Structure 1
Amino acid sequence: MYRDFIVPDDEEVLDKIGEWPETDENGARVITCRPDDVGDVLTFSYETLSRSVRARWTKSNGEDVLDIYREGATRLTVSSASQARHILIEFHMGECAGVMEIQVSPSLSVRDRLLYV
């Protein structure tokens, strides 16, 4: 069964996590976060039509810490509370459902769960 991928508007993304989503050459929305002084960068992209997301965490020396690409996204939310800012992505893919939670400040962290329902 097809489900829509619900995403916040650009103003909400800017308001909640302090970054304006840009559009890449393929039409995906891209958010680039540099949360600390060590030079790590999180590049998060999403495309509503394909219901896909990609989270790429790169160290200051260019080395990838994490690179996740997933389809089947159903909802993307952004939040800000007590100095922490988050991107939350919900997924539903046939027999599996899950959540990816990305903390973009004050430091980067990623938690990802995908389970059978």
Structure 2
Amino acid sequence: MYREFIVPSDQEIIEQLGEWPEVEEESGARALALRGSKGESVLFSYDTLGRSVRVRWRNAEGEQVLDLFRESATRMTVYADNVSRRIILDFDMGECGGRMEISILPMVAIKDHLIFT
């Protein structure tokens, strides 16, 4: 059964994260280039029709720390306040479900939980 991947509007993303999602020419996915407080970068891309996300994290020296791809996304939420900025993703894969939290500020960190439901 197909489930929709619900994402915030571009306007909400820029208001919360300070970045406008760009369209990737090859895939049509939307991408956000985000910077951490210590010079690290996170390229986050999402494809609403494919229900997929990709997270590429590079440290301040430009070395890749993480390249993560996941399908079956159902919801994306963006959040910001005076001290933090983050993207929260929910997944439903039938037998498994989970949540990924990508923190950009105060420091780059990624929490990922995937469990049997």
Residue type at the aligned position of 2:66: L
| Superposition CA RMSD, Å | 1.0
Indicate the residue corresponding to 1:111 in structure 2.
Answer: 111
Tell me by how many angstroms 1:5 deviates. 0.2
Structure 1 residue 5 corresponds to structure 2 residue 1:
no
Indicate the residue corresponding to 2:28 in structure 1.
Answer: 27
CA distance in structure 1 between the aligned counterparts of 2:81 and 2:62, rounded to whole angstroms: 30
Structure 1 residue 45 corresponds to structure 2 residue 41:
no
Q: Which deviates the most, 60-69 or 101-110?
A: 60-69
Q: TM-score normalized by structure 2?
A: 0.95
Q: Which runs of 5+ in 2 are unaligned?
A: none
Indicate the residue corresponding to 2:80 in structure 1.
Answer: 80
CA distance in structure 2 between the aligned counterparts of 1:46 and 1:69, rounded to whole angstroms: 10
Q: Secondary structure at the match of 2:80?
A: strand
Q: TM-score normalized by structure 1?
A: 0.95
Percent identity of paired positions between Structure 1 and Structure 2: 49
Q: Kindly provide the CA deviation profile for residues 50-92 of structure 1, in whole angstroms up to 9, marking residues without a partner as x.
A: 0000011012333111111000000000011231011000000
After TM superposition, the runs of 4+ consecutive aligned structure 1 residues lying more than 2 A away are: none
Tell me by how many angstroms 1:104 deviates. 1.0
Indicate the residue corresponding to 2:17 in structure 1.
Answer: 17
CA distance in structure 2 between the aligned counterparts of 1:72 and 1:59, rounded to whole angstroms: 28
Q: Secondary structure at the match of 1:43?
A: strand
Q: Kindly provide the CA deviation profile for residues 73-116 of structure 1, in whole angstroms up to 9, marking residues without a partner as x.
A: 00000011231011000000010000000111121000000000
Q: Which runs of 5+ in 1 are unaligned?
A: none
